[in-house]
Structure 1
Amino acid sequence: MDDDRAFTYNGGAVAPGETQNIRYGISETYLGDPVRIPVTIVNGERDGPTVFLTAASHGDELNGIEVVREVAHEWDLSALAGTLVCLPVLNVPGFLAQQRYLPVYDRDLNRSFPGKPGSTSSNRMAHRIYANFIEPCDLGLDFHTSTRGRTNMLHVRGDMTDEGVHRLAMAFGSSVVIDSEGPSGTLRGEATADRIPTITIEMGEAHRFQRGLIDDALAGVRSVFAEYGLLETESVRWPGWRTIVAGSSEKTWLRADAGGIVDTHFESGSLVRDGDRIATITNPFKEDAIGVKAPFTGLLIGVLENPVVYPGNPLCHLVRVDESTQRAIEAQGSRRSGSWSGRSSRPTDAE
């Protein structure tokens, strides 16, 4: 074994040219049975960066699982230059229960990194994952979806003030990049702080596979592999247009000011104009209609899927785009569909 290029973890090693599928113990159940996460490690014969791909730190977020599985088990990685650490299901207890957080412990695994031995259950799990499979890496892609009842267009989140994160986010090739530091305890935030540039990829909704989004994310992974030389046959992609959203004034969550049933007039990914009615809230008798208008021209990167709200519930996530980006969005839409405008045929007049 080439010890200098072997990927090592507590309990094993993967030599250059070798692939291992392992189930790695990170905790135990009430009965003392192991809680194990699936891990695939592909160590290429040629030298290159070590990259982690993670999904389902929230157990009901499924789209990323299929992205990581397809890279690990369907792609031709025979000419890989570097090492891939593929962790398709980080939160196995949540995945088995099909819920966001760790059941019983009711903790958010993605607020527990880098973890701590001798601490709470979630911190111990996070430590086992982070110390063995994240710390040895050079960069990482962490896949998420929106929470239950909402959906996101595919976009990247990362700290664009970090040079390594900036390069990685640009390489992934999404049209929208949200420039933000990862909250404390998140995988991307803690890894980036440890000089492991990491981005979050948000894509779609919980509890389902969405094939179009999965394919788009796979194209992003191929683009990253091209940028860092992991696969020479790939090329870095340009999405056609791109906006980098930084600062709280450039994005907003629109929230319901009344309880009721919501009729949403635009889909996730739509371009809306200042003053457009994005949604209408009514009571069960379709009385007292309350319109929710766009406060500025922008892109809906997230919208409500479950059409019932209390006052204060989020309805949509809107990010501002400048005029040149608006024109690029509309031009790309026209090329794809012939007449696409990004707008609903529903009326957008005042109440």
Structure 2
Amino acid sequence: MTSLGTATAAPGEIDTGRLVVGETRDGGEFGLPVAVINGEQDGKTLYVQAASDGDELNGIGVIQRAVPRMDPTELAGTVVVVGIVNYHGFQIAKHRNPIDDTKMNRTYPGDPEGTSSERIAHATFGAAKEADMILDLHQGSTSRMLNEVRVRCGTRHRLHEECLTLAKVFGCGYVLDQKGPSGQLARVGPDEGIPTIDPELGGSVGWDDESIEYGVRGIFNVLRYYGFLDGEVTPEEQTRATGFDQYGSPSGGLVRFEKELGERVSRGETVFTVRDVFGTVKSEVSANGNGIFWRSRRLPQVATGEYVCSVATGIDSY
């Protein structure tokens, strides 16, 4: 038997339930939606979670489509899923946990006696650290963004190559290989000896079908490559970035981009202009160096100094 919260599955079975992590303001218990897919044969354990940022919904879309396709009678090993991590943020479609005004993915490994976010992190990490690999599904919130996978442990970490391989197997085509902030699950997992990646499945308001399908395909790539399911997976070459140049607006107005997501950018090329409401160019911003147009704001209006876009740097293939 394998259990997570109230979900318990014998070999060859699947079950869903709730992982109780605290009480709401009316004194009632609340729990995170969880699933256990227990393979008929022994094997590794994969942990998957989504929506640690409450407004990042594409990961939930991935889980909603992927779990019904997992047949435990064909599976070797176990898949453990937490469908929504940031319960409170999800309820009001906000990025941070409104109970403690905290970004959940900065609180791992958590604290059983801590804040709301720390308690949720502790409960979910209790399941994650029993796995052989971890997928923490994210998206670019409301930004426009490439589908990418982030390796956050740092290039000198003992598990860097294992995390990089997992990212390549997931296969979004783009990888950010840059050490992340403290408290990220993709930082803490490798410290516990568990390869962990952070797929950033595009950016949208609500669902984005293309990005969700990238995520579904990525999960099944992992399941096949690591022997959970039969089938061959040959990882394709990925474009890797090791950093970003971020650009703010030198003036207020409306942004017009000169590049599409994924396009190469050369030093000195115009990346965007800022125009007034009558179309007059107020500012023209050029690239500081070579890279790939990776991420941008969704709405065109900007104030002076406001974030506009990011160009990925340190580009290579692996």
Maintained 8 Å contact 2:150/2:199: yes
Deviation, structure 1 residue 202: 0.8
SS in 2 for 1:64: helix
TM-score, normalising length: structure 2: 0.91
Cα pair 2:8 2:36 within 8 Å, conserved: no
Question: Which aligned pairs between 1:201-280 and structure 2 lie closer than 5 A?
Answer: 201-238=199-236, 241-246=237-242, 248=243, 251-280=244-273
1:154 corresponds to? 147
The alignment status of 1:181 with 2:179, answered yes or no, reads yes
Partner deviation per Cα, 1:49-80 (whole Å, 9 max, x = no partner)? 11111111011001111112222123444311
In structure 2, what residue type is equivalent to 1:218? Answer: V
What pairs with 1:1-351 in structure 2 (closer than 5 Å)?
Answer: 6-9=1-4, 13-131=8-126, 133-148=127-142, 150-158=143-151, 159=153, 160-161=155-156, 162-238=160-236, 241-246=237-242, 248=243, 251-320=244-313
Which structure: larger Rg? 1
CA distance in 2, matches of 1:83, 1:286: 57
Cα deviations by residue, 1:107-130 (Å, 9 ceiling, x for unpaired)? 111111111011212111211221
Residue identity over aligned pairs, in percent, reads 31
For the Cα contact (< 8 Å) 1:68–1:87, is it kept in 2?
Answer: no
Residues 99 and 116 of structure 2 are in contact (CA less than 8 Å); yes or no, is this contact kept in structure 1?
Answer: no
| Paired positions, count | 312
Give 3-state SS (helix, strand or coil) of 2:123's partner. Answer: helix
* Aligned amino acid, residue 28 of structure 2: D
1:305-332: CA deviation from partner (whole Å, max 9, x where unpaired): 111222332221212366x86xxxxxxx
The C-alpha deviation readout for 1:144-189, integer Å capped at 9, x for no partner, is 11133x1210111113542321221121123221112231111111
Deviations 1:67-100 (A, max 9, x none): 1222212344431111101122111111110111
What is the CA deviation profile of residues 183-219 of structure 1, one whole-angstrom value per residue up to 9, with x for unaligned ones?
A: 1111111112111111001122243111111112222
Q: CA deviation at 1:245?
A: 2.1
Unaligned 5+ segments in structure 1 are 1-5, 326-351
RMSD: 2.1
CA contact (8 A) 1:178 1:245 kept: yes
CA distance in 2, matches of 1:52, 1:275: 44
CA distance in 1, matches of 2:5, 2:31: 14
Cα distance in 2 for partners of 1:78, 1:258 equals 60
Say which SS state the counterpart of residue 35 (structure 1) adopts.
Answer: strand
